[in-house]
Amino acid sequence: MTTIRHPTAQSPGSVLGAAPDVTESAAAYRATGGYADAAGPDELLRHLEASGLRGRGGAGFPAAVKLRAVRERGGAPVVVANGEEGEPGSVKDRWLLRARPHLVLDGLVHAAAMTGAVRGYVYLSDPEAGARVRRALAEHPSPLPVEVVETAHTYVAGEESAVVRRIDGGPALPTAKPPRPFEKGVGGAPTLVANVETLARIALTAARPGLRERIADTTLVTLSGGTTGAVLTEVPYGVPLRTLAALQGTPDAAGALMGGLFGGLVDARALDLPLEPDALAAAGTALGCGAMRFLAAGTCPVSVAADAVGHLAAESARQCGVCVSGTGAIRDALDALAAGSAGPDTAARLHRWSQGLPGRGACGLLDAAAYTAASLLRAFPDLVPHHLDLPCAACAARPQAGAPGRLTVAVPEVMDVAVSATAPAEATATPTARSPLPALKGTP
């Protein structure tokens, strides 16, 4: 089960909100300042530029730059709320669509106003989230025509060109770039594809521009690892990774798998790094989608790397030959290491692939596989030679290679207001599991 942890002192600029385990109604959202216009489109764009808000989809690109790029193309732009969460270790986007659909829709409308968009889409793969978004649109009809588009849940389905392709009626598979969606997207129109948490922070900034820095410098994170349940929480930039490991229940972590499957492995020394995109990038890792899997005592990084690349290989779109062969080769090498049956040239081959494969696929999946291998060699250089003759105890206990679900985190339960309104009192009196978050030191 995934537990929702919330700060003891609720901030009016919080995406997590005051009741993260209940779907927020339109009336409740309006009561806290939602659907407000404290800042017009031009002023809001200036606030977003001044705050430095980064996209929360994984790349961390400045939100205002993407908005301006679409706006400056002219024509009749399109805006898309991207809630397709392909990273197995992340649950924030699906939770957000289930719990706070009005916050996302409000942000979508503001994004449309800033770009001049004439229509919008909410793109997702979670049927439960889709139902709650549709009900939210019925509760509070949008001034912008908005359509909910569902897709199958895959690792690559949330890549922005795959989003455009699926909305246009094709498969949710990436395409070669250029053009990028801001140049030619849905129906050939300039298109903003924005992560749902990014849009949520845009809506909060529109309602409370005086809190713009706090809104921009706080983020949702999904924490998992060991035998302790996963945690979804909201924290300020600057919090040490070690503090988050303790919060999740892995205080003795030997390292972490960062950014979902895109930030690679880091060792225990890296846990003293602050949760801040630039600081993490400078250290050779990434915040990505905010998912961190901490390596508990008795967990072998070789097995974690093998599981990560195994997942990527299984999720390949299979439309780029180099991706199919490259991810497969890295997977097989890591599986052999975990089994203690790798050849003496395994480290050299992993190093060669990690250097030569990035950038050769239509999306970032191959890059993620190559970087996972590179990070294992860099963060845990002694482990590879020690696994050549026989597996360590942790790897020996690893389930059969290819077994699904080892990196998957469950979405927190969010009580449906439509159900709770008619359910007996005793059935609605106990919310889903959540507990207060200890005070965390970091950028406010």
Q: What is the mean pLDDT of residues 94-102?
A: 98
Structure-token pair, residue 6: 């919330």
Q: Average model confidence (pLDDT) for the chain?
A: 90
Interval 260-295: pLDDT, tens: 898 999 999 999 999 999 999 999 999 999 999 999
E strands, 383-427, where? Answer: none
- What Å distances lie between residue 348 and 22, 66, 343, 391, CA to CA? 51, 40, 10, 19
* Strand ranges of the sheet holding 119-124, from the earlier edge strand across to the other edge: 146-150, 119-124, 78-82, 191-195
pLDDT the model gives residue 38: 80
Is the full-model pTM beyond 0.85?
yes
Neighbours of 377 (CB within 10 A): 17
Interval 393-432: pLDDT, tens: 889 888 765 555 688 999 999 998 765 444 443 333 333 3
Partners of residue 280 on adjacent β-strands: none
pLDDT of residue 142 exceeding 90, the answer is yes
CA atoms 146, 147, 153, 155: torsion sign: negative
Orientation of helix 301-315 relative to helix 365-379, angle to 10°: 170
pLDDT the model gives residue 364: 86
Contact status, residue 41 vs residue 115, Cβ threshold 8 Å: no
pLDDT of residue 443 exceeding 70, the answer is no
Interval 43-85: pLDDT, tens: 999 999 999 999 999 888 999 999 999 999 999 999 999 999 9
The residues spanned by each domain of the chain are 13-216, 218-294, 301-396
Interval 330-357: pLDDT, tens: 999 999 999 999 999 999 999 999 999 9
Interval 232-261: pLDDT, tens: 999 999 999 999 999 999 999 999 999 989
Domain 13-216, classified CATH 3.40.50.360, yes or no: no
Contact status, residue 238 vs residue 263, Cβ threshold 8 Å: no
Q: What is the mean pLDDT of residues 354-373?
A: 91
For domain 301-396, the CATH architecture is Up-down Bundle (1.20)
Confidence of residue 321 (pLDDT cuts 50, 70, 90): very high
Q: Report how far residue 105's alpha carbon sits from residue 34's, in angstroms, rounded to the nearest whole number.
A: 10
DSSP label of 336: H
Helices (H) and strands (E) in the chain, counts: 19, 11
Interval 187-214: pLDDT, tens: 999 999 999 999 999 999 999 999 999 9
Domain spanning 218-294 has what CATH number?
3.10.20.600
pLDDT the model gives residue 404: 56
Structure-token pair, residue 204: 């909060």
